[in-house]
Structure 1
């Protein structure tokens, strides 16, 4: 955290990265955060790829990211952000209240989970907590769920078995993209897309693309 001297005191500035594909929401989040002294929005991104680049460049203290991003959801982005900037704490905000989604983002390395409906009341407190390396959760997320996750974090799920690239392919397919479109979006060959799709379906025990889409929706990889 950068800081400065004022009135004989050392003032700490918390730097923040905002990630949301809706510019109006980014502006709203920015307005809330910048209304609190000591917060500085270092950068904004509308997609995961740009967010990773900005995180590597700015090394923000906290990243506030929407879970329902296109091509790379909040869980996948959390993993990539933590690789690009390990000191950055991640706050995921979402419309969903889902134990499975909470376990997913916790497993990815996020330390905060905020419902969008709670943002006006809790966003500043959540960022303050994460800036001091403390977890923050709203909604149905409680100490019992967090304790359950911590007690079972060594256990793996089907989703945990997927690589980051396989998750990206699954999400794009579930969003209605053809293999050719996935190939273009990820800058990989069509053959590689099909290999990742087949590998993901094998790991998940699925036999059809329709089943893959249902699985992605059920596990909040995409919005229904």
Structure 2
């Protein structure tokens, strides 16, 4: 049963989380402001998580997936340099928490989830919290060419390589944040599409994500 109350206690813990992330220097003030508005505990289906929802921890959310720890969400969001009105493709809707951060920052979000059970649940959670994203069940490797190009792309699962179709759907000058690597850890990459079609690539350390799935892996 998902929670519906955002108490003073929750708000206090959320403020504590924002202060912790500020101390860790993983996020811009714009990202911290968004995180400070989002009731993370409402993205869990158990009150058991009440005491942990605002700690910098990842948790399982069903279907073999996890809700990323807040510092990872904050770091990826900061790398994207999100501006109000940005058209963003998210690969891996997951719990919807990262989606909510993007929306709070004024982005227009198109989000794809590969797990049907999770897609159905998260759609209801975001609707209940009045977050309006364009949600799709499908293969993240394919992106969403119907609505391309995108100003930014964020991948919230571990990709074995940089999917060419996602690069194609990025505007010139656009940015993609993606954890790349096979196995238990990936390297966080920031990809920028240059005027001549080449890619500028930067690496930002090791992270651990659930694997990115396509139709053949499902």
How high is the TM-score relative to the length of structure 2? 0.31
Larger Rg: 1
Compare the two structures and name the one with the higher helix fraction.
1
Compare the two structures and name the one with the higher strand fraction.
2
How high is the TM-score relative to the length of structure 1? 0.30
